Amino acid sequence: MPLKITVIGAGAAGLNTSIHLRRFLNADVTILERAEEHETPGLGVALLSFARDEMRLIGLGDFVDGGAYGMPISTTTRVFAGSAGGPLAEEERIQEVDYWGVRRSELVAKLRRAAADEGVRIEYRTDITPDRVRTERSACDVLVGADGAGSVVRSTFAEEFKPTIREATSRYAWLQLTGRLEQFVFGYIYLPGQGLVRITAYPHAKDECSAIITHSAGLSGMLDGPGMLDADGSLSTLALETINGFFAKGLGGHRIVGSSRWRKFRATSCATAASGNVALVGDAFATIHYETGWGTSAALQNARIFCHILAHSRDTGLTLPEGMAVYARKTGEITAALVETTARVMDEVDGQADVIAEIGTERFMTLATP
Ligand SMILES: Cc1cc2nc3c(=O)[nH]c(=O)nc-3n(C[C@H](O)[C@H](O)[C@H](O)COP(=O)(O)OP(=O)(O)OC[C@H]3O[C@@H](n4cnc5c(N)ncnc54)[C@H](O)[C@@H]3O)c2cc1C
C-alpha cells in the first residue's frame, strides 16, 4: 500500500515535497491549499544557484535555463548611503554568490504544473483550520505542514514543535522598482534624529524589479502620519512620494511603485521539524529573513531532503518514526546557521540607524553595509 500523505500548503516547500514524494516513495499525495489556483502573492524572488539545481532535478531545467523566464543577477552590486538631502557615498562591490531573479508567480505556477504531472492532487480554496489539521493528521500516514510563516499546522501542535516567535521592530513593504536593473542595489538613507530607511532592489524579469523597503522603528510615527496610509492600510501615494524623495538621488531615474502595507517580519523557529507523523517543511519550520535571500532556496532543498530521508529510511529498513526522527535531526542541523543569521539580520536596520548616526556615512559604508 502506498503511503497516504497530506501536505498543507502549495508554496515552494509543499510543491517540491509532493513532487519528490511521488517520485521516490510513489506515495498517494494530496495538497490542501487555501489560495485560488492562479493566486500567488509577492513579486519576485532571488534564488541561489543550488535552487536552480533543485528545479533541474525535477525536470524544470528549461524553466531556469531557457532564458524565457527570470533574469541572472550580476555579482557586482551597487551600494549607496547618505543622509536625506545630503551627499551620497556610493560603491560597487562583488558578491560571492550567484543569484537568479524570477517572478514568484511563475516559479509557483511551474511547480504546480510539475506536481500535477506527477499525479499530486491539489485542492485549492481549502483554508485549513486547527480542527481540520487534527482530522487530517489522523486520516493519513504522514501530514506535512508546508503552510509558510503563519503555519496552522505548527500552531495547532505547538506543544510538540515548541516554536519560538520573535517580531522585528522594523517594518518592510514589498514594492516594485520601475525600469531595468542588472544587479542588486542596496541603499541606506538616514533621517537625522528619526531613523534609517533601506532599499534592497533586484531584477526578477528583464524589465521588472522588486524593491523591499525596510525602515527602523523610529520612523513608524512619521510613516503612519496623516495621509500616509490608504483606508485599507496600504502605503498611500503620499507615502510612496515621500519614500521616492528619500531615494531619488541614489536610484537615478528608477521609481518605487506598487502596493503594499507595512509589515513586521516574524522570526519563527521550532525545537523540532518532526513529531509523530507530522513534519514541518520550509518557512513553517523556520522563517528565514528576506534580506538573507535564502528562504525559497532553503525551502526547495529542505523539501527534497525530507523525501530523500524517508525513501532512504524505507530502503534501509528503518520504520517511519525512525525516518521522521532522522529528518528532524538533519533539518535542525542544516537550518541552524540560517536561523542564527535571521536573528541577527532582523534587527540590523535598527542597529544601523544608531551606527550611521554615530560614525557618519563614509565609515558606515565600509563597516555596516552588505
Ligand atoms: C518581502 C519578502 C521578500 C522575499 N524575498 C526572497 C528572495 O528574494 N529570495 C528567497 O529565496 N526568498 C525570499 N523570501 C522568502 C520566501 O518568500 C519564503 O521563504 C518562501 O516563500 C517559503 O516557502 P514556503 O513554501 O515554505 O512558504 P510559502 O511560500 O509561504 O507557502 C505557503 C503556502 O501555504 C498556504 N497556506 C498557508 N496557510 C494555509 C492554510 N491554513 N490552509 C491552506 N493553505 C495554507 C499559502 O497560501 C501558501 O501557498 C522573501 C520573503 C519576503 C516576505
Closest ligand 1 atom, CA of 129? 41
The pLDDT, as a whole number, for residue 353 is 86
CATH of the domain at 335: 3.50.50.60
The pLDDT, as a whole number, for residue 322 is 96
For residue 365, what are the contacts with CB-CB under 8 A and spacing of at least 6?
79, 81, 89, 91
Closest CA to 345 of 249, 265, 239, 282: 265
Residue 158 within any structural domain of the chain: yes
Residue 51 within any structural domain of the chain: no
Q: 89 CA to middle of ligand 1, Å?
A: 34
Mutate to test the pocket of ligand 1, among 6, 34, 208, 259 (most ligand atoms within 8 A of CB): 34
Phi, psi of 321 (to 5 degrees): -60, -35
Burial 151-173 (b: 16+ CB within 10 A, else e): bbbbbbbeeebebeeeebebbbb
Integer distance in angstroms from the first to the last C-alpha of the chain?
52
The pLDDT, as a whole number, for residue 134 is 98
Determine the Cα–Cα distance for residues 327 and 310; give it in Å rounded to an integer.
8
Q: 11 CA to middle of ligand 1, Å?
A: 6
Q: 152 CA to middle of ligand 1, Å?
A: 14
Determine the Cα–Cα distance for residues 28 and 26; give it in Å rounded to an integer.
7
Determine the Cα–Cα distance for residues 60 and 285; give it in Å rounded to an integer.
26
3-state secondary structure of 358: helix
List the grid coordinates of 221. 510615527
Residue 25 within any structural domain of the chain: yes
Indicate the pTM of the whole model. Answer: 0.96
For residue 15, what are the contacts with CB-CB under 8 A and spacing of at least 6?
31, 108, 111, 112, 114, 115, 120, 303
**177 and 160 housed in the same domain:** no
3-state secondary structure of 223: helix
The pLDDT, as a whole number, for residue 39 is 79
* Total number of domains constituting the chain: 2
**243 and 339 housed in the same domain:** no
The pLDDT, as a whole number, for residue 369 is 67
Residue 70 within any structural domain of the chain: no
Closest CA to 234 of 149, 175, 194, 167: 175
* Ligand 1: lining residues by beta carbon, under 6 Å: 8-14, 32-35, 45-47, 126-128, 146-149, 152, 172, 174, 212, 282-284, 288, 290, 293-297, 299
**322 and 335 housed in the same domain:** yes
**330 and 364 housed in the same domain:** no
**275 and 248 housed in the same domain:** no
DSSP string, 65-128: HSSSS-EEEEEEEEEEEEETTS-EEEEEEE-SS-EEEEEHHHHHHHHHHHHHHTT-EEE-S---
Q: Where in the sequence is the domain holding 148, given as residue range(s)?
A: 4-43+104-167+266-345
Largest CA distance in the chain: 69
**121 and 36 housed in the same domain:** yes
Q: 312 CA to middle of ligand 1, Å?
A: 28
**362 and 283 housed in the same domain:** no
The pLDDT, as a whole number, for residue 237 is 98
Which residues are paired to 112 by β-bridges?
A: none
**126 and 38 housed in the same domain:** yes
CATH of the domain at 181: 3.30.9.10
The pLDDT tens digits for 267-310 are 999 999 999 999 999 999 999 999 999 999 999 999 999 999 99
**177 and 224 housed in the same domain:** yes
**146 and 283 housed in the same domain:** yes
Phi, psi of 335 (to 5 degrees): -85, -15
Residue 62 within any structural domain of the chain: no
Residue 64 within any structural domain of the chain: no
Q: Is 23 exposed, middle or buried (0-12, 13-18, 19+ CB in 10 A)?
A: middle
> What are the residue ranges in the chain where pLDDT is below 50?
none
Closest CA to 169 of 215, 101, 115, 224: 215
Residue 56 within any structural domain of the chain: no
Determine the Cα–Cα distance for residues 285 and 227; give it in Å rounded to an integer.
38
**241 and 361 housed in the same domain:** yes
Closest ligand 1 atom, CA of 282? 26
Closest ligand 1 atom, CA of 127? 42
Residue 49 within any structural domain of the chain: no
Closest ligand 1 atom, CA of 293? 9
**228 and 302 housed in the same domain:** no
